[in-house]
Structure 1
Amino acid sequence: MSRFYELDPSLENYWRAIVLFGRNTASYKFALAKSLYDLHSTGKTLITLDELAEPYAKHLCERLKKHPKQITRDQSTFLDYLRSFNEGKISHDEMIKQTVRYGFNNVIDAFHNVHGQEVGARFFTDERKTSGGIQLTDEFFQLGEQFQFGNLQEETEARWRLVETAWENNISSNLMLIEYEDISENLIGVTSIRRNSVTSARPALNGYQKGRCFYCFRDISVEPGSDDLADVDHFFPHMLKRCDSTKPLDGVANLVLACQNCNRGENGKFERLPSVELLERLYNRNEYLITSHHPLRETLIAQTGNSAAKRQDYLQTAYNCASLYVGIKQKWQPKAQGNPIF
Structure 2
Amino acid sequence: MATAIPTARLGGSTVEVTRLSFGAASIAGLYRPVDEETAIAAVQAAWDAGIRMFDTAPHYGLGLSERRLGAALHDKPRDSFTVSTKVGRLLEPHHGGGNDLAHGFAVPATHRRVWDFSADGVRRSIEDSLARLRLDRIDLALLHDPDDHEEQAFHEAYPALERLRAEGVVGAIGAGMNQSRMLSRFVTDTDVDAVLCAGRYTLLEQSALHDLLPAAAARGTSVIIGGVFNSGLLADPRPDSTYNYAAAPVELLDRAVRMRLITESYQIPLRAAALAFPFGHPAVTSVLLGARSAAEVRDAVRMSVHPIPGELWDELRVEGLLAANVPLPTVRKG
Q: TM-score, normalised by structure 1?
A: 0.30
Q: TM-score, normalised by structure 2?
A: 0.30
**Structure (1 or 2) with the greater strand fraction:** 2
